[in-house]
Structure 1
Amino acid sequence: MGNILAFLFGLVSLAIVIPATIPFLGWANWFALPLIGMGVIVGQLSSTSKAGRNFCLVVLLIAIVRLSLGGGIF
């Protein structure tokens, strides 16, 4: 059950991160980071399957790369 919840956190975060790749919308990644963090924690605490956690980590990587390219704001 925790794996499904982590995957849902990842999907909601991805829905925020994808539009945030547009220039001057990079600040939206800051709203996605807490959701991604919650998804990673829930995914880590879930049972044997870690697919939800890994999906959240990929979304986190995309958000961090985008924030680093924009200097943290743009």
Structure 2
Amino acid sequence: MGLISLLWGVVAMILMVIALIPLLGWGNWFLIPFAAVGAVIAAIGIALTREQNRGRAKAGLVLNGIVIIVGIVRLGLGGGIV
């Protein structure tokens, strides 16, 4: 679960960088739910693994959280209404 959430977070970050390009802000409407699913996978990974093996799941949770926050801020600034 940790590896899946980490890879999901990396893909979400790449898509976030693409959505930062002007006129592509509408991509955040799809990116926020995508990252939310990755955050749920990471939370499940944290809950189901031992303390020593939670590093990847925590990193995935952080990456997906950053993507969600940046996406919401970008839409709040009007970047998604084009």
When normalised by structure 1's length, the TM-score is 0.83
Q: SS of the residue aligned with 1:18?
A: helix
Task: Return 5+ residue gaps in structure 1 as ranges.
Answer: none
Q: Hey, what's the Cα distance between the residues in 2 that align with 1:60 and 1:3?
A: 18
Specify which of 35, 58, 70 is matched with residue 62 of structure 1: 70
Q: Hey, what's the Cα distance between the residues in 2 that align with 1:70 and 1:3?
A: 34
Residue of structure 2 in register with 1:6 after alignment: 5
Task: Return 5+ residue gaps in structure 2 as ranges.
Answer: none
Answering whether residue 19 of structure 2 is matched by residue 20 of structure 1, we say: yes
Specify which of 53, 62, 66 is matched with residue 61 of structure 2: 53
Greater relative CO (CA pairs within 8 A, separation 6+): 2
When normalised by structure 2's length, the TM-score is 0.76
Q: Percent of pairs identical after alignment?
A: 37
| 1:25 CA drift (Å) | 1.0
Between the two proteins, the alignment pairs up a number of residues equal to 73
Q: Hey, what's the Cα distance between the residues in 1 that align with 2:81 and 2:2?
A: 31
Alignment RMSD (CA, Å): 1.6
Structure 1 runs (4+) deviating above 6 angstroms are none
